Structure 1
Amino acid sequence: MRIIYSCLILLTSFYSFAQDVKPEVKPVVKIDSLYREDQFYFSITYNMFTDIPAQFRQNKFSLGLAGGFLRDMPINKSRTVAIATGLGLSYQNYFQNLTISKDASGAVAYGVNDYGQFVSNRYRQYAVELPIEFRWRNSTFESYKFWRIYGGMKLSYIFSSSSVLDDGEQTYRINNNPDINKFQYGPYISAGYNTWNLYIYYGLSPLFKSATTVDGNKINLKTLNAGLIFYIL
Structure 2
Amino acid sequence: MKNSLKPKYDMRLLLSCLFLVSFFNSFAQEVKPELKPIVKIDSLYREDQFYFSITYNLLVQGPSGLKQDKFSAGISGGFLRDMPINKDRTIAIAAGLGFSYQNFYQNLTISKDQNGKQVYGVNNYSEFASNRYKQYSVDVPIEFRWRNSTYESYKFWRIYSGVKLSYVFSDKSILKDGDNTFKISNNKDINQFQYGIYLSAGYNTWNVYCYYGLNGLFDKSVKTVLGENVAVKAMNIGLIFYIL
- TM interval, shorter chain, is over 0.9
Mapped partners of 1:26, 1:128: distance in 2: 50
Mapped partners of 2:64, 2:195: distance in 1: 25
- Give the equivalent residue in structure 1 for 2:243: 232
Q: Which consecutive residues of structure 2, in runs of 5 or more, have no partner in the other structure?
A: 1-16
Aligned equivalent of 2:57, options 19, 25, 47: 47
Aligned equivalent of 2:231, options 205, 208, 220: 220
1:217 aligns to what SS in structure 2?
coil
**Residue type matched to 2:215 in 1?**
S
2:95 aligns to what SS in structure 1?
strand
Mapped partners of 2:137, 2:54: distance in 1: 15
Per the TM alignment, residue 17 of structure 1 is displaced from its structure 2 partner at its CA by 4.2
Mapped partners of 2:230, 2:70: distance in 1: 22
Q: Deviations over 1:105-134 (max 9, x none)?
A: 001110100000000000000000000000
Mapped partners of 1:34, 1:28: distance in 2: 18
Q: Which consecutive residues of structure 1, in runs of 5 or more, have no partner in the other structure?
A: 1-8
Aligned equivalent of 1:104, options 106, 114, 117: 114
Mapped partners of 2:22, 2:124: distance in 1: 102
- Give the equivalent residue in structure 1 for 2:198: 188
Count of residues in Structure 1 that have an aligned counterpart in Structure 2: 225
- Give the equivalent residue in structure 1 for 2:71: 61
Per the TM alignment, residue 211 of structure 1 is displaced from its structure 2 partner at its CA by 1.2
Per the TM alignment, residue 69 of structure 1 is displaced from its structure 2 partner at its CA by 0.2
Task: Please say if 1:134 is aligned against 2:147.
Answer: no
Q: Deviations over 1:187-215 (max 9, x none)?
A: 10000000000000000001110110012
Mapped partners of 1:57, 1:12: distance in 2: 94
Per the TM alignment, residue 50 of structure 1 is displaced from its structure 2 partner at its CA by 1.1
2:82 aligns to what SS in structure 1?
strand
RMSD value over aligned CA atoms? 1.5
Q: Deviations over 1:3-39 (max 9, x none)?
A: xxxxxx8997775445433321112112011111000
Mapped partners of 1:16, 1:54: distance in 2: 94
**Residue type matched to 1:199 in 2?**
Y
When normalised by structure 1's length, the TM-score is: 0.93
Mapped partners of 1:11, 1:83: distance in 2: 68
More helix by share: 2
Matches within 5 A, 1:1-233: 16-21=25-30, 22-214=32-224, 215-233=226-244
